[in-house]
Structure 1
Amino acid sequence: MCALKIDLLFGGGAELLFDKIKKRQVELPPLNKYFSDAKKTEWTIREFIVWIKDNLLREREELFIQGDSVRPGILVLVNDSDWELCGELDYQLQNNDCIMFISTLHGG
């Protein structure tokens, strides 16, 4: 499998955890090159979240990650659709997908 190009967007304050960058295109390596113990070859959002944490997240991991997923209060859109309609963590990433993470958490 070739590297995947993914448009990645952050909003609602989530971008503050990622050097205040709201939009970027990332290129994911073949899955088995990133996760040497990977038994499958296709990227899912589950692995993508780990890749984001390892490569892009700059601070306060607990505000983005909870367990093996995003924390409650982070809305995830896959090509402008709620990820719940796409299979959530098991959604298989496709080349040129647009994945958006929007924080709905606000302090006061």
Structure 2
Amino acid sequence: MTATLKIHLQFGGGAELLFDKIKRREVELPVLKKYFPDCPKEKWTIRELLVWLKDNLLRERPELFIQGDSVRPGILVLINDADWELYGELEYEIQENDNIMFISTLHGG
């Protein structure tokens, strides 16, 4: 089991405002069992990533990004430039060097 899982995160369409206005980040996720000791899974999924993002990177107004255990409607999630629906959404097992993008399609008016 590797010590960490390196991934690339991108935020756009205004979602970056919730993450210190930083559009791109490279992060190293810790060993899943260290962060979620009771998790029966061996690999990080988008579901666990969202919790990690909320705990570690989300700086303000979590209700604009998270709803329940998923992203709020209006947040488009792309995994390696493809819609996350093609990968199983929350259950997608994150791979080393994946590029995961969150784009807000909500605009004030």
- For Structure 1 versus Structure 2, the TM-score category normalised by the shorter chain is over 0.9
Q: Displacement, 1:38?
A: 1.4
Match of 2:11 in 1: 10
Runs of 4 or more, structure 1, over 3 Å off, are none
Q: 1:30 aligned to 2:31?
A: yes
Structure 1 Cα separation of the partners of residues 90 and 6 of structure 2: 18
Match of 1:69 in 2: 70
Structure 1 Cα separation of the partners of residues 45 and 62 of structure 2: 20
Counterpart amino acid of residue 42 in structure 1: K
Match of 2:95 in 1: 94
Which blocks of at least 5 consecutive residues in structure 1 are unaligned? none
Write out per-residue CA displacement over residues 54-101 of structure 1, whole angstroms, 9 at most, x where no aligned residue: 000000000000000000000000000000011100000000000000
Which blocks of at least 5 consecutive residues in structure 2 are unaligned? none
Tell me the TM-score normalised to structure 2 length: 0.98
Q: Percent identity?
A: 77
Tell me the TM-score normalised to structure 1 length: 0.98
Counterpart amino acid of residue 73 in structure 1: G
How many residue pairs end up in the alignment?
A: 108
